[in-house]
Amino acid sequence: MTHALIVIDVQNDFCPGGALAVPEGDAIIADINSLMQRAEAVVLTQDWHPPGHSSFASSHVDKAPYSMIEMAYGPQVLWPDHCIQGSNGAAFHPDLDQSCADIILRKGYNPAIDSYSAFFENDHTTPTGLEGYLRSRDITRVTIVGLALDFCVNFSALDAARLGFDVKVRQDLCRAINLEGSRDAAVAAMMSAGVDLS
Ligand code: VGL
Ligand code: ZN
């Protein structure tokens, strides 16, 4: 066992009709399902915030969704309320074949820290446990797909590369939010980190 497929946040709130809808977020699901069926190991991640999470604009006075604030750990985009624990928006999209998952990793449950990456919270130091899970299964190579390319996929890929995993991101199986050029910036960052974007 050396390779894992990591499927990031294919949840209702990130698909058309959801609270933080990514354009065409649901268009990648059928091909992700086929890829999961052929994968050696499959990790699904789920964005999983408590009500009143600090990444929600509604948790701050006079802040609009998609504006920025400075948190103790650095700049943070403020989002519409999304992926609230146990809600329908936080559920996986009904078309995603969850039966292939070896493990479902939830992130973003710490009220004070957002967690884009599947490996670390946004302070870049609090681990989620995924590194240990992969290493204990002797996994050295990961392919990352899902939502959103410029946030959770990007941060997961950068952390995986920094941790020494061989990382591939299938851009055709991702979709971006694209806030002020965030898509191009993410692609450039992943390229310079040595992520295979072919
Ligand atoms: C995500 C913004 C906020 C993502 C999660 O899955 O990319 N983006 N929470
Ligand atoms: Zn979130």
Pair 117, 156: CB distance under 8 Å: yes
CA distance 28 to 58: 30
Residue 148 Cβ contacting ligand 1 at under 6 Å: yes
Catalytic residue among 13, 81, 107, 114: 107
Q: What is the pLDDT of residues 107-133, one digit of tens each?
A: 999 999 999 999 999 999 999 999 999
Q: What is the pLDDT of residues 8-46, one digit of tens each?
A: 999 999 999 999 999 999 999 999 999 999 999 999 999
- Taken in order 97, 17, 189, 73, the sign of the CA dihedral is negative
**pTM greater than the 0.95 cutoff:** yes
Residues whose CB is under 5 A from ligand 2 (ion)? 47, 108
Q: What is the pLDDT of residues 70-99, one digit of tens each?
A: 999 999 999 999 999 999 999 999 999 999
Give residue limits of the domains in the chain.
2-51+82-193
Q: Evaluate if residue 1 carries a pLDDT over 80.
A: no
Pair of tokens at residue 145: 């797909």
Residue 79 Cβ contacting ligand 1 at under 6 Å: yes
Pair 25, 19: CB distance under 8 Å: no
Mean pLDDT of 172-184: 97
**Is residue 168 flagged as an active site residue?**
no
Bridge-based pairing state of the strands 103-107 and 68-71: unpaired
pLDDT at site 198: 85
Pair 56, 115: CB distance under 8 Å: no
3-state helix, strand, coil split of the chain in percent (to 5) is: 30, 25, 45
CA distance 95 to 66: 28
Mean pLDDT of 2-9: 98
**Is residue 9 flagged as an active site residue?**
yes
**Is residue 83 flagged as an active site residue?**
no
Catalytic residue among 9, 13, 47, 159: 9
**What is the dotted CATH code of the domain comprising 2-51+82-193?**
3.40.50.850
To test the pocket of ligand 1, the residue of 79, 85, 150, 175 to mutate (highest count of ligand atoms within 8 Å of its CB) is: 79
Environment class of residue 26 by beta-carbon count within 10 Å: exposed (0-12), middle (13-18) or buried (19+)? buried
To test the pocket of ligand 1, the residue of 71, 82, 117, 149 to mutate (highest count of ligand atoms within 8 Å of its CB) is: 82
What is the 39 CA–ligand 2 centroid distance (Å)? 26
What is the 1 CA–ligand 2 centroid distance (Å)? 31
